[in-house]
Structure 1
Amino acid sequence: MFEWTEEALSKLNVRKGFRLRGESMTRIEVFSDAAFAFAVTMLVISLSGIPGNYEELVEALKGVPAFAASFTQIMIFWAAHRSWSRRLGMDDPISTLITLGLIFVILVYVYPLRLMMTSFFSYISGGYFPSSFVVTSASEIAGLMIIYGLGVFLVAGSQWALYQ
């Protein structure tokens, strides 16, 4: 088994007070990055298709703010997981299970996140930014908020569990 000596530790890169565990990625990190990339792809392909004319292009571009907000939120979660991976790089069964749970939640969370963001931007713009998701009652809004909040809670809880 390898022993960490002061000499070995001094050779590691240090970033923001943390010694980075190395440059190579584990298989679970590669899988995690691919899953996050797939989640972002799901955000993009959930659009109705390639525009056939200028008016359809303009209409499609109205979805950019909701996509940007959804993309940003997913990338915040990805960056947090990447930071954990770079700092600790744990590849034990518990960390792997938590990471797989995080990936599962992210992939399920993509559509509620997109629906939440398109509905939000449609509401604050008075309908200028379109939303194909129709909310017809206050209970549906509450339900959407609960689903969205549960997703955020599970992702944040996974991130928290990785640091324990």
Structure 2
Amino acid sequence: MARTADFRPAEGHRLDAFVDAAFAFAVSLLIIAGGEPLASFADLTRALMRIPAFLGGFALLVMFWLAHRTWSALEPRRDGRATLLSLAIVFSVLVFVFPLRLLIETAAHFLAVGCRVRV
């Protein structure tokens, strides 16, 4: 006999799948945003230098995804507020993925090179 506490309606599963897909799309945008065709070894070197910035952005996206997944497991009910909150998180992540990439790349460059002031 199935317990009612373990039952989650199909709408909740579809919403969770949509949120997971949106986070996966955001990670794809994070990768594609810096992707230009490589024409030389210097281009490859510059592309490899962006890996720490990608790792930082990826870690932040995973942090938000894990928090949403944990909340979703603790709150199996899917009413209007829960749906609105999930969609607001998806909207925020997809809107801020490009500024996140720029912010993390700037921070990684600052940590690697430092602040050099030219006079």
Report how far residue 50 of structure 1 moved. Answer: 3.1
Q: Which of 104, 113, 117 matches 2:100?
A: 113
Is 1:100–2:87 an aligned residue pair? yes
Q: Closer, same or farther in 2 for the Cα pair 1:117/1:99, shift >3 Å?
A: same
Alignment partner, residue 27 of structure 1: 14
* Unpaired stretches in structure 2, ≥5 consecutive residues: 115-119
Q: Which amino acid aligns with 2:28?
A: T
In 2, Cα distance between equivalents of 1:118 and 1:34: 24
* Cα offsets for 1:58-82 (capped at 9, x unmatched): 1101000010000000000001111
Alignment partner, residue 31 of structure 2: 44
Alignment partner, residue 43 of structure 2: 56
Q: TM-score, normalised by structure 2?
A: 0.82
In 2, Cα distance between equivalents of 1:59 and 1:104: 31
Q: Per residue, is there more helix in 1 or in 2?
A: 2
Runs of 4+ residues deviating >2 angstroms: 19-22, 52-55, 86-90
Q: Once the two structures are aligned, what percentage of the paired residues are identical? A: 36
| Comparing 106-115 and 65-74, the one that deviates more | 106-115
Higher relative contact order (CA 8 A, sep 6+): 2
Report how far residue 20 of structure 1 moved. Answer: 6.1
| Aligned-pair Cα RMSD in Å | 2.2
Alignment partner, residue 71 of structure 1: 58
SS at match of 1:26: helix
* Cα offsets for 1:67-120 (capped at 9, x unmatched): 000000000000111112223222211100111011101111111211111111
* Unpaired stretches in structure 1, ≥5 consecutive residues: 1-6, 13-18, 128-164
Report how far residue 53 of structure 1 moved. Answer: 2.9
| Comparing 61-70 and 78-87, the one that deviates more | 78-87
